[in-house]
């Protein structure tokens, strides 16, 4: 009998699937989601809008009206084109696959978003991780040396970075872009609603830069829509790798409707920025807690014992992310998603019992 072990690549057999914890019955603060639902009246109108969608038809492979609305609403430069993906995860995979020449390498600061490395591995491309400094800022000299040595096909720069929350210095990023003359630099702005800084206005200013975003952190994680903005010369090639019907009709319809009400989502993001400030100040006052600056909708916190903190919070029905084993720089670190005021209060009450 033929078994998977006979057929599947050995590196794939050795991998584990992306872990997603069962959050049933928990205060869910592990996945950087917007905790707020749509206003009831708006949700009802969305339901009516989705009811009219033709589910018997394939989605438009390139929905021009939706792309035009994204460009207009998100202030994407006129010189740029837009590529849609089933979340930004698919766009990461598309870029990795398209750039997977024999011997190609993909480079990113670490710790960073794990899917950069996972997608590189699945595309049979070597991943080069360049450690951040101990304060989680860019080690520019190390980045420049790695770029010179490895000549990567792709350089990922998350702005701000996950899981650290760091908003890298613009001038340092410009040095990296200038040095990466043989690379495509992808600036990942998944958490832009909380950073409020953006490279999008400059997306057409560099020949080797594209900007990636998602609507997930804006409050629409469930519809799975990411988009890439950049010069057509790049996006035309990535479009060849994109599956033909990758963004389904319900996602397209929901995005089209909700982009007309983006002010509601922007207001929720503003509330979460305020909650982030309050939560960071409160956690920083707890004994043994070190809170790192964050431009995302989450906080990276170093505690005396990350595993014990995680497990004890589980008993209090609060789910966070233990990132302490992701990288040596993250020793005893946990990541706390900024939730609603009630959720943050429950988190703080539990943390006070643990950190005393």
What is the rounded CA–CA span in Å between residue 10 and residue 15?
Answer: 9
> What are the DSSP calls for 160-193, one per residue?
S-TTT-----HHHHHHHHHH-TTSEEEEE-TTHH
Q: Give residue-wise pLDDT tens across range 124-164.
A: 999 999 999 999 999 999 999 999 999 999 999 999 999 99
Among 71, 66, 63, smallest CA distance to 201 is for 71
C-alpha separations of 236 from 97, 116, 119, 195, 316 in Å: 14, 21, 20, 29, 50
> What are the DSSP calls for 41-54, one per residue?
HHHHHHHHHHHTS-
356: pLDDT confidence band, cut at 50, 70 and 90?
Answer: confident
Least confident of 11-15, 34-38, 60-64: 11-15
> Residue 14: in which H helix or E strand, if any?
helix 10-14
Q: Give residue-wise pLDDT tens across range 167-193.
A: 999 999 999 999 999 999 999 999 999
Computed over every residue of the chain, the mean pLDDT equals 96
| 21: DSSP letter | -
Residue 43 has pLDDT above 90, yes or no: yes
Portion of the chain with pLDDT greater than 70, in percent: 100
Dihedral of CA atoms 257, 214, 218, 351 in degrees, nearest 10, equals 150
> Is the pTM value of this prediction over 0.85?
yes
Q: What would the two tokens of residue 56 be?
A: 């018997």
Instruction: Count other C-beta atoms under 10 Å from residue 208's C-beta.
Output: 17
Residue 118 has pLDDT above 90, yes or no: yes
| Size (the chain), residues | 356
Among 234, 58, 48, 51, smallest CA distance to 153 is for 234
Domains of the chain: residue spans and CATH? 4-40+263-354 (3.90.1150.10), 56-261 (3.40.640.10)
Q: What would the two tokens of residue 204 be?
A: 């057409």
Residue 186, pLDDT score: 98
Residue 325, pLDDT score: 94
Q: Which residue has the tokens 């790192």?
A: 292
């Amino acid at each position: 009998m033929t078994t998977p072990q006979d057929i599947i690549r050995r590196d794939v057999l050795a991998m584990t699937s992306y872990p997603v914890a069962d959050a049933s019955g928990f205060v869910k603060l592990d996945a950087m989601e917007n905790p707020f639902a749509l206003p009831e009246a708006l949700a009802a109108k969305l339901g009516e809008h989705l009811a009219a969608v033709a589910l018997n038809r394939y989605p438009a492979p390139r929905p021009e009206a939706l792309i035009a609305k994204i460009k207009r609403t998100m202030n994407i430069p006129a010189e740029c084109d837009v590529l849609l993906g089933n979340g930004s995860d698919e766009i990461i995979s598309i870029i990795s696959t398209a750039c997977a020449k024999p011997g190609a390498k993909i480079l990113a600061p670490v710790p960073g978003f794990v899917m950069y490395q996972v997608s590189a591995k699945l595309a049979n491309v070597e991943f080069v991780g360049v450690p951040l400094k101990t304060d989680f800022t860019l080690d520019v000299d190390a980045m420049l040396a790695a770029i010179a040595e490895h000549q990567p096909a792709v350089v990922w720069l998350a702005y701000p970075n996950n899981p650290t929350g760091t908003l890298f210095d613009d001038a340092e990023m410009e040095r990296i872009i200038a040095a990466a003359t043989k690379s495509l630099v992808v600036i990942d702005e998944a958490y832009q609603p909380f950073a409020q800084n953006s490279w999008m206005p400059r997306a057409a200013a560099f020949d080797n830069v594209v900007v990636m975003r998602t609507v997930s952190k804006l409050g629409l994680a469930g519809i799975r829509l990411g988009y890439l903005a950049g010069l057509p010369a790049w996006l035309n090639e990535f479009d060849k790798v994109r599956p033909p019907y990758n963004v389904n009709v319900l996602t397209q319809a929901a995005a089209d409707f909700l982009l007309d009400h983006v002010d509601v989502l922007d207001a929720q993001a503003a509330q979460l920025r305020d909650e982030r400030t309050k939560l960071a100040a409160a956690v920083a006052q707890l004994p043994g807690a070190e809170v790192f600056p964050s431009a995302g909708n989450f906080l990276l916190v170093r505690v005396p014992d990350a595993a014990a903190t995680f497990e004890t919070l589980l008993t209090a029905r609060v789910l966070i992310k233990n990132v302490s084993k992701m990288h040596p720089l993250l020793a005893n670190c946990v990541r706390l998603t900024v939730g609603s005021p009630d959720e943050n209060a429950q988190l703080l009450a539990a943390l006070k019992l643990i950190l005393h």
